Amino acid sequence: MSVPSWTRTRPQSAAAGLPLPGGLLGHEYLARRVTETELAQRSPFLMLAEEVPEAREHMGRFALAMAKQSDGSLVLLATERNLLTLNRASAEEIQDHSCAILQ
């Protein structure tokens, strides 16, 4: 069984003036496509712990979020606390607080 890979997204310099090709709100995230079938069979926390080096030993440093893309596919996002880059590993920073579902 092949393990899906996590893609590392890094923030781009604001000076580059490009659309956000990597990173979210200036923080590095790991991204992994997941299917609904995978989610029914395996916890996203286990995916992170088993697939990202050192995550199992330091789960408290990570935050997870799930996003549905316009094509209906799901993406699992993980960020790791890094105080040197002021990343508190709070996935809430990418939440849409005006979302009608949250109201």
Enumerate the domain spans of the chain.
Answer: 7-13+21-88
* Per-residue model confidence (pLDDT) at position 30: 85
Residue type present at position 13: S
pLDDT value of position 102: 66
How far is CA 59 from each of CA 14, 26, 89, rounded to the nearest angstrom?
30, 22, 11
Averages of pLDDT over each 10 residues, the chain, 103 residues: 64 36 73 90 95 92 89 87 78 78 68
Q: How many CB atoms are located within 10 Å of the residue 3 CB?
A: 9
